[in-house]
Amino acid sequence: MSRKYPAFLNLENKNVLLIGGGKVALEKLPHLIDCGAKVSVITLDACSEVRSILNVHPEIKIEYRAVEFSDLQGRALVFSATNDSELNRRLSDYAHSWKIWINCADNPSNCDFYSAAVFDRGPIRVAVSTEGSFAGLSGIVKSTLDELIPEEHEAEFRDLIEFRKELKSILPDAEKRKKALKDLILSLKEEYFKLLSGQRTI
């Protein structure tokens, strides 16, 4: 079986449908909000955590009813997060007939794409995936990254991005700029991991 192509999707202002309002939907919703998607939720009911999110995001359209196949039309992406495997399969078949990409929470074989465990540190974003086969393992890798690079380093990463932008005016020559950045990264790598090693031995 071929491996999946890793990519980050630009979903800003894209029409995304989330079907379901339970714990699985709760995992998807914050990331969809964060990326600026136009989210619609259709569910028979919603857990208290999902309701809390919806209460502070009135821009999300919520309908408490059974989903219909026609609800999928015109969507950029669909997330089927119901606990009904047969419904998820039928929704997947319908989405594929309309060439709409869908993610079904309970069956990787029905998915056109997979969600990932996401590690964020300022401008750096790392997505960890087992392609739907073992989400818990992805979570462990993410937790390891959280320990390796704590939140207090976020400002430093942002400063590096700003420095790179400023360097274009300081060093207009592309080759000299490339060498300066490479030297900086190597120096940071050595000092950073030396610091981490020292922290582990304490």
Which residues are CB-neighbours of 16 under 8 A, at least 6 positions away?
A: 32, 37, 38, 39, 40, 75, 76, 77, 78, 79
**Is 6 among the domain residues?**
no
Same domain, residue pair 68 and 120: no
How confident is the model at residue 202, as a pLDDT?
A: 41
Q: Residue 69 is part of a domain; what is its CATH number? A: 3.40.50.720
**Is 141 among the domain residues?**
yes
Q: 3-state class of 103 per DSSP?
A: strand
Mean pLDDT over the full length of the chain: 87
Tokens matching residue 83: 């606990």
**Is 43 among the domain residues?**
yes
Same domain, residue pair 105 and 53: yes
Listed range (87-96, 133-142, 172-181) with the worst mean pLDDT: 133-142
Same domain, residue pair 108 and 132: no
Instruction: Report the domain count for the chain.
Output: 2
Residue where a domain terminates, one of 115, 141, 176: 115
Which residues are CB-neighbours of 174 under 8 A, at least 6 positions away?
A: none
Residue-wise pLDDT tens digits, 112-160: 998 888 888 878 888 888 877 777 788 888 888 888 777 877 887 788 7
Please give the DSSP secondary-structure letter assigned to residue 9.
-
Same domain, residue pair 84 and 143: no
Same domain, residue pair 26 and 42: yes
Query: Which one is predicted more confidently, 2 or 12?
Result: 12
Assign 198 a pLDDT band (cuts: 50, 70, 90): low
Same domain, residue pair 53 and 122: no
Assign 195 a pLDDT band (cuts: 50, 70, 90): low
Query: How much is the pTM?
Result: 0.78
**Is 3 among the domain residues?**
no
Residue range 67-85: average pLDDT?
95
Choose among 92, 78, 145: nearest CA to 117: 145
Query: Which one is predicted more confidently, 143 or 106?
Result: 143
Give percent of the chain above pLDDT 70: 93
Residue range 19-30: average pLDDT?
94
